[in-house]
Amino acid sequence: MDAELKPALIEYCIALGDDSVILGHRLSEWCRNGPFLEEDLALTNVSLDFIGRARMLYSHAAELEGAGRSEDDIAYLRDCREYRNLLIHELPNGDFAFTMARQFMIDVYDMAFFTELMQSQEPTLAAIAAKAVKESRYHLRRSEDWIKRLGDGTEVSHERVQAAFNQLWGYVNEMFSVSEQEQLLIDAGVAVDRSALQQNWHTAVQAVMLEATLETPDEDWTISGGREGIHTEHLGYLLAEMQFLQRAYPGQKW
Amino acid sequence: MKQQSLPLFEIFIRSKRGLDHRHVGSLHAEDHEQALEYARDVYLRRSEGVSIWVVRSSDITASQESDVASFYDPMDDKPYRHATHYKLPKEVDNM
């Protein structure tokens, strides 16, 4: 690969790692708060998958960078504006229906994204993608199942999951908008052209929502900025909790 | 959702190909499909198996404590039902 693309590739790995670590942390907040024991364990497993994914991406970025930063430095020693995750990942969990609606939307996206990324010219990214696809296939099986259960469940569960989709819908466009720098990597066959995934995403999501007797919200608002480091007010609080230990006791190890 | 309202499932795991499924425990789930997923998440987190069976606990018919006398005791005085009861000819090394 072209040496001048290296900074862009490092940014790309970090951005993907940010998506994973932020969602992984959000899901970890369900640990011991799950609706019942089995679901609590299952959600925590999913959380760990995302944190593991972030570790691989950060390690790879650190290795490419070769500047002595570790995966932990990347996760724990950057502030909000340096985080590059898509906004949907950082939203507070809300109720269980909101968490599952978000998870479902992300799982459909991740399945398509990482399937494409397996074709990357960058072998490490392709290998990480191959592992991620297996995980996401299971995540999607779970979240899709829950959307149908909640949507086609009781009046309350239907209302809640519909409300969740309505609140989340404005975060969808951002998932498919490509930056200039990303376009360079796409042209080099390294990155995934996310804009090409949008149509299939909508088809897949709407099919499940239809079966779950849910209505697809109108696209009358949209919000973005995560990939540029412009975040919602929620990310700061998340980082404050996630990074506390390393900030208070720098270099502390288990 | 109250956990009490969820049915109980018994979970059987095959740890390796060629081995039998073994009972590993139970869990609550809405239906068989969800029980399979939870079994995966609760009992297979450390690659403990390659196959899962789930059975609704209420579908299992179990022998009762009161059956002990008629079910098992009568076998105690029939040693000839065990191979070890018989003396083997010297020519047979193992059995």
* Nearest-CB residue to A38 (from B28, B33, B45): B28
Q: Say whether pLDDT at B90 is over 90.
A: no
> Contact A210/A122 with Cβ under 8 angstroms?
no
Which residues are B11's β-sheet partners? B25, B54
Residue B4 pLDDT grade (very low, low, confident, very high; cuts 50, 70, 90): low
pLDDT over 70 for what percent of chain A? Answer: 100
Q: By mean pLDDT, which of A106-110, A164-168, B25-29, B60-64 is the weakest?
A: B60-64
Q: What is the mean pLDDT of residues A27-52?
A: 96
Q: Mean per-residue pLDDT for A43-55?
A: 97
For residue B17, pLDDT over 60 is answered with: yes
> Does residue A77 register a pLDDT over 60?
yes
Residue-level pLDDT at B80: 84
Domain boundaries, chain A: 3-248
- Per residue, the 3-state secondary structure of chain A, as one string, reads CCHHHHHHHHHHHHHHHHHHHHHHHHHHCCCCCCCCHHHHHHHHHHHHHHHHHHHHHHHHHHHHHCCCCCHHHHHHCCCHHHCCCCHHHHCCCCCHHHHHHHHHHHHHHHHHHHHHHCCCCCHHHHHHHHHHHHHHHHHHHHHHHHHHHHHCCCHHHHHHHHHHHHHHHHHHHHHCCCCHHHHHHHHCCCCCCHHHHHHHHHHHHHHHHHHCCCCCCCCCCCCCCHHHCCCCCHHHHHHHHHHHHHHHCCCCCC
- Asked whether residue B82 carries a pLDDT value surpassing 90, the answer given is no
> What does the mean pLDDT of chain A come to?
96
Cβ-nearest to B37 among A35, A36, A42: A42
* Res. A1: pLDDT tops 80: no
Query: A138 contacts in B (CB within 8 Å)?
Result: 40
Residue A34 has pLDDT above 80, yes or no: yes
* Of B87 and A99, the one with more pLDDT: A99
pTM here?
0.90
pLDDT tens, position by position, A84-99 = 999 999 999 999 999 9
Spatial CB neighbours of B26, under 8 Å, sequence gap ≥ 6: B8, B9, B10, B11, B57
pLDDT category of residue A130 using cuts at 50, 70 and 90: very high
> How many angstroms separate the CA atoms of B46 and A90, rounded?
29
Fold of the CATH domain B1-60? Ubiquitin-like (UB roll) (3.10.20)
Residue to substitute from B10, B33, B38, interface A, most A β-carbons within 10 A: B38
Q: Are B75 and B85 in contact (CB under 8 A)?
A: no
Is pLDDT at B91 greater than 90 in this prediction?
A: no
Three-class secondary structure of residue B43 per DSSP:
helix
Q: What is the pLDDT of residue B89?
A: 84
Test B38 with A41 for CB contact under 8 angstroms.
yes
| pLDDT confidence bin for A254, thresholds 50/70/90 | confident
Return the SS3 of B80: helix
Q: Which residues of B touch A (CB under 8 A)?
A: 1, 3, 6, 27-30, 33-34, 37-38, 40-42, 45
Banded model confidence at residue B95, pLDDT cuts 50, 70, 90: low
- When pLDDT is averaged across residues B48-61 and rounded to a whole number, the result is 94
Looking at A102-116, A216-230, B17-31, B71-85, which range is the least confident one? B71-85
d(CA A113, CA A127): 14
Question: Could you tell me the fold of the domain covering A3-248?
Answer: Ferritin (1.20.1260)
Contact A36/B41, CB-based, under 8 Å? no
